[in-house]
Structure 1
Amino acid sequence: MTTACHFTSDLERIELFEQKLQEIINQSSLALMISVGHRTGLFDTLEGTETATRQEIADRAGLFEHYVGAWLTTMVAGGILEYDSMFKTYRLPPEHAVWLTRSTDSKNYAVNMQWFSIFSKLEDEIVKSFREGDRIPHSLFASLQSEMDEEQSKSAINGLFKYVLPLVPNLIMQLCEGIDVLELDCGSGSTLLELAAIFPKSRFVGYDDSEELIESANRIANERNIENITFINRDISQIHAINSFDLITAFDVLHYQEYPFQVLDEAFAALRPGGIVLIQDIATPSNLDQIQNIPMALHRFAVSNMRWMTASRGKGSAGWEKEMMCQTLEDIGFAGIEVHELPHDILSYYYVAERPNAESYHI
């Protein structure tokens, strides 16, 4: 009897896991189609439209009706759109549109759905890395990610102004008056370009070790006639500056570095006394059992792993726990260390630390 009960329990677990795998396939397919809806502008077309037929939607979006119809069917099956079978019309509910359209002030999750396309394009390189130990070429990952940067920048800027910049008292006022800012691992520079345009009296510098992305960033700066910004192709562990900046930012970068201590040490030297380092880093749980309880953790760690495999200086640090980050900042000499959890980015910790004034700092 005991054996029979045990066998029945195993069968139930097998069936439950099969259902989970089926759901993963379904949701992955839906994610890809949401990305298609974002890139084709279909969600933006549907926004504010009470109801419309598939032909009307295709005409408004300037797309082929046959393909739009197949996409609409997927969106209805996935619970994204509503369908009226009597009138054969489709509707994007406002409570869904707020998370899926470009006009939203909230986080646009449709942008993040593009990661699945990036993952698929990198799969061969990932498998090769597992087998041969080679890194994924940084230029390949960077070029794919840059396709998302411009659209991500709006969400990033909204989050910066609403949550991140206010972490430092009077920082926005100082940016208005004019300070020197360095962003480490700036990518294609989309966020820094926006800041430079908003704060013309401040001076901005971006470092990144991707020559392709830096060339793109400088080209965009020239096209937009933004003169208070410079992008430099440089390893961020080699800042090579002394007392040069009032603010240094490192957003989602340190846990990809082989020598994050060196990056922070260089940042400390590059800051003027009283200068601030502002860091965003992944909220790595100390216990793996905790990962399943963190919303969106699977996606964030998958993206993190992809970037970790491109680490240009070796194996990467695989993420820091909060205590390790704080201790490192303190050991280097930073003071007033603060750690924040922000509502717009529940998967990250935000660290604020100050280089003490010369008269209060002793080696």
Structure 2
Amino acid sequence: MCIACDTKLNPESLDEFGDRFIRILNHGALAVMISIGHRTGLFIAMRKTGPATSRQIAAEAKLNERYVREWLGAMTCGGIANCDESGSVFTLVPAAAEMLGGGNGAESLAYLAQYVAMMGFIEDKVIDCFHRGGGVPYSEFPRFHEVMAVDSKQTVVDPLFEHLLPLVPGLTMALDNGIEVLDVGCGRGKALLKMAAEFPQSRFTGFDLSVEATREAAKEAEALGLVNVKFEVRDLSDFHKTAPIAAFDFITAFDAIHDQARPDHVLAGIRRALKPGGVFLMQDIGASSNVAENKDHAIGTLLYGLSCTHCMTVSLAQGGLGVGAMWGEQLTRDFLKDAGFRRIDRHTLSHDIQNYYYIVKP
């Protein structure tokens, strides 16, 4: 028996959900339009122009006016912009100008909307996986590392020295004196490059599955003249066997472990690669392993959606475990303990609403 089908709903409940569903559709469309506004520079253009016509805004952004005019309609109906009574002069709502247009030197949050657009882009391939199983490989996400580099800049790279490294007492002094550092799932290597420039006596290594990302990282290191950092393309599925033994003093993994085909093997490899007294700093999604405890999570819906359309599926595409982004603290601790770690301290940082920071030692 289908309990849901036999439950009689009153008209008010149906009307309430109907109204909510309309808001969902509008907000979904608005997220894609915000992504477009970010990628085309329209928010920055509107901050510069102040109250302006679609023609003036298009000229400032060097874009086609007809498309800008339609985009402005979406921004106005979505409460991101205001227009005059004639419907021809537009200006960003002050809070939107600040948060989406990079006001007062702040980083724009508009880039986050790109994740929604990415989910739509990959929808057909993910639906195919619903039917046949398996996953969608990294190669099907052409802009993922580009978006992640921006995300990482705000959560990891910019606050690296002020908030992240101080989580490990004495680490900055050790980096000054010279130690061996590994970043697992380094992407384009922004965090490593920043540390390599700041701590020339230390040596830095980055591993990532992406040829494109490691190539970009190596090019930037060369352009910056950094000789104490290197990047390698590595599939870490067998890292529990192939990791160098006791080779690194400090290992990091920023929002990377849950994407791995075999996070258990990667964590065991990290344990194997740590020198005695070494420390592992792991940033990963802050959530519970119990979905019922995530119902009030501020961005839980977004994170489950991203997991379904990226994090989980790229792992399954490699024949992996597919733990997903929302694997949660309980499962994370189980994996860390199984890998041989006994001291696990979890931190939250005020600048990052979506991640936990684990300081882990054998």
Are 1:266 and 2:272 an aligned pair?
A: no
* Aligned equivalent of 1:220: 220
Task: Confirm or deny: 8 A CA contact 2:207 2:231 kept in the other structure.
Answer: yes
Task: Confirm or deny: 8 A CA contact 2:258 2:311 kept in the other structure.
Answer: no
* Aligned equivalent of 1:231: 231
How far is the alpha carbon of 1:328 from its aligned partner? 4.4
* Aligned equivalent of 2:55: 55
Deviates more, 1:216-225 or 1:106-115: 216-225
Counterpart CA distance in 2 for 1:246 and 1:297 is 35
Q: Deviations over 1:91-123 (max 9, x none)?
A: 224432332135666563211111122212211
Are 1:168 and 2:168 an aligned pair?
A: yes
- Report the residue type matching 2:194 in the other structure: E
Paired residue for 2:313, among 299, 309, 324?
309
Paired residue for 1:293, among 287, 290, 296?
296
Query: What stretches of structure 1 of length at least 5 have no aligned partner?
Result: 1-5, 356-363
Task: Confirm or deny: 8 A CA contact 1:217 1:231 kept in the other structure.
Answer: yes
How far is the alpha carbon of 1:73 from its aligned partner? 1.9
* Aligned equivalent of 2:101: 101
- Report the residue type matching 2:96 in the other structure: H
Counterpart CA distance in 1 for 2:150 and 2:78 is 24
Counterpart CA distance in 2 for 1:273 and 1:335 is 14
Shift in alpha-carbon separation, 1:129–1:37, aligned structure 2, 3 A: same
Aligned residues: 348
Secondary structure of the 2:158 match is helix
* Aligned equivalent of 2:344: 337
Task: Confirm or deny: 8 A CA contact 2:284 2:356 kept in the other structure.
Answer: yes
* Aligned equivalent of 1:14: 14
How far is the alpha carbon of 1:307 from its aligned partner? 1.6
How far is the alpha carbon of 1:84 from its aligned partner? 3.0
- Report the residue type matching 1:111 in the other structure: Y
Counterpart CA distance in 2 for 1:106 and 1:126 is 35
Q: Deviations over 1:303-323 (max 9, x none)?
A: 122221111242323454423
How far is the alpha carbon of 1:80 from its aligned partner? 1.0
Paired residue for 2:353, among 329, 332, 346?
346
- Report the residue type matching 1:155 in the other structure: Q
Secondary structure of the 2:322 match is coil
- Report the residue type matching 1:146 in the other structure: H
Secondary structure of the 1:63 match is coil
How far is the alpha carbon of 1:234 from its aligned partner? 1.1
Q: Considering only aligned residues, what root-mean-square deviation do their CA atoms show, in Å?
A: 2.6
Counterpart CA distance in 1 for 2:191 and 2:343 is 26
Are 1:46 and 2:46 an aligned pair?
A: yes
Counterpart CA distance in 1 for 2:123 and 2:336 is 36
Task: Confirm or deny: 8 A CA contact 1:248 1:271 kept in the other structure.
Answer: yes
How far is the alpha carbon of 1:126 from its aligned partner? 0.6
How far is the alpha carbon of 1:269 from its aligned partner? 1.9
Task: Confirm or deny: 8 A CA contact 2:262 2:321 kept in the other structure.
Answer: no
TM-score between both structures, scaled by the size of structure 2: 0.85
How far is the alpha carbon of 1:257 from its aligned partner? 3.6
- Report the residue type matching 2:72 in the other structure: L
Counterpart CA distance in 1 for 2:199 and 2:79 is 42
Counterpart CA distance in 2 for 1:349 and 1:61 is 38
Secondary structure of the 1:183 match is strand
Task: Confirm or deny: 8 A CA contact 1:185 1:209 kept in the other structure.
Answer: yes
Counterpart CA distance in 2 for 1:310 and 1:33 is 26
Shift in alpha-carbon separation, 1:17–1:333, aligned structure 2, 3 A: same
Secondary structure of the 1:163 match is helix
Counterpart CA distance in 2 for 1:351 and 1:180 is 20
Counterpart CA distance in 2 for 1:174 and 1:196 is 13
* Aligned equivalent of 2:4: none
- Report the residue type matching 2:12 in the other structure: E
Task: Confirm or deny: 8 A CA contact 1:180 1:247 kept in the other structure.
Answer: yes
Task: Confirm or deny: 8 A CA contact 1:149 1:190 kept in the other structure.
Answer: no
Counterpart CA distance in 2 for 1:104 and 1:135 is 42
Shift in alpha-carbon separation, 1:223–1:76, aligned structure 2, 3 A: same
Counterpart CA distance in 2 for 1:49 and 1:172 is 44
Task: Confirm or deny: 8 A CA contact 2:43 2:97 kept in the other structure.
Answer: yes
Deviates more, 1:345-354 or 1:333-342: 333-342
Task: Confirm or deny: 8 A CA contact 1:204 1:230 kept in the other structure.
Answer: yes
Query: What stretches of structure 2 of length at least 5 have no aligned partner?
Result: 1-6
Shift in alpha-carbon separation, 1:282–1:150, aligned structure 2, 3 A: closer
* Aligned equivalent of 1:134: 134
Secondary structure of the 1:66 match is helix
Residues 64-79 of structure 1 correspond to what in structure 2 (within 5 A)?
64-79=64-79
Are 1:276 and 2:279 an aligned pair?
A: yes
Task: Confirm or deny: 8 A CA contact 2:288 2:330 kept in the other structure.
Answer: no
